[in-house]
């Protein structure tokens, strides 16, 4: 049963993003490079936010529960803002490197479009974010133990997988919208991406346990991101 839960949740969480990678990225070496670099930039943001979090925890009073909760909220929102800063840095880097990237492109020497870069970079952000949020959950799903034995929800693993799926795709759509906003100087689009990222992070981290209503809310935001990203293209 544990193997069934492991593979089922893994396929739910990463199946769509893996399919996108296989059918739209894997055949183009240039896109693979951009995806890996995007994942690396997300890792850099995680490293810096973790460092700030570690310093804040060590410098604070661990017995003050109110302060610790405040630091948790600060850590979550600071991490989100840092991710978006690194997304902007990556956008600037790709724009400057676009002519150089054309030299190794197979498409008759033409540079990859900004929209394609936005999609692939966003997918890189999403895959790495999903991997870090789900890997420990998948490890626990292999057992030993019984989910819900102490009165907790028996749907913990499936809800975690669904949330990882949503966040992975959200990062992809946010990447498209963020790059489009920067490219066309539509700063309200950039602000909307950052605001939605903060909103989703707050919903996921501070509403416990995950409910059907919360999952539907996140999926509704994901659908809105998909719809608008399609219109922008």
Per-residue pLDDT tens digits of the chain, which is 233 residues long: 578 888 888 999 999 999 999 999 999 888 999 999 999 999 999 999 999 988 888 887 777 778 878 888 888 899 999 999 999 999 999 888 876 666 655 555 556 788 889 999 999 999 999 999 888 888 877 777 666 656 666 778 888 899 999 999 999 999 999 999 998 888 999 999 999 999 999 888 877 656 778 888 888 888 888 887 776 55
CA 217 to chain centre: 17
Residues 6+ apart with CB under 8 A from 28: 106
What is d(CA 159, CA 161) in angstroms, rounded to the nearest whole number?
5
Distances (CA, A) of 52 to 40, 87, 131: 19, 19, 22
DSSP classification of residue 144? S
For the whole model, what pTM was predicted? 0.87
């Amino acid at each position: 049963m544990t193997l069934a839960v492991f593979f089922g949740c893994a396929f739910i969480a990463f199946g769509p993003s893996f399919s996108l990678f296989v059918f739209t990225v894997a055949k183009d070496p240039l896109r693979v490079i951009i995806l890996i670099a995007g994942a690396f930039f997300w890792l850099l943001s995680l490293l810096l936010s973790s460092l700030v979090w570690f310093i804040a925890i060590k410098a604070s009073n661990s017995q003050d529960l109110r302060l610790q909760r405040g630091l948790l909220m600060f850590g979550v929102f600071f991490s989100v803002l840092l991710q978006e800063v690194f997304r902007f840095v990556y956008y600037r880097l790709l724009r400057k490197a676009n002519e150089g990237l054309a030299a190794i492109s197979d498409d008759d020497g033409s540079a990859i479009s900004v929209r394609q870069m936005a999609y692939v970079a966003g997918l890189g952000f999403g895959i790495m974010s999903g991997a870090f949020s789900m890997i420990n959950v998948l490890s626990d799903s292999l057992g030993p133990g019984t989910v819900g034995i102490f009165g907790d929800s028996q749907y913990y693993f499936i809800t975690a997988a669904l949330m990882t799926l949503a966040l992975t795709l959200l990062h992809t759509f946010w990447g498209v919208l963020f790059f489009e906003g920067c490219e066309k100087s539509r700063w309200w689009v950039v602000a909307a991406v950052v605001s939605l990222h903060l909103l989703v992070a707050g919903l996921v981290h501070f509403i416990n346990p995950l409910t059907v209503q919360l999952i539907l809310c996140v999926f509704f935001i994901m659908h809105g991101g998909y719809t608008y990203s399609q219109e922008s293209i």
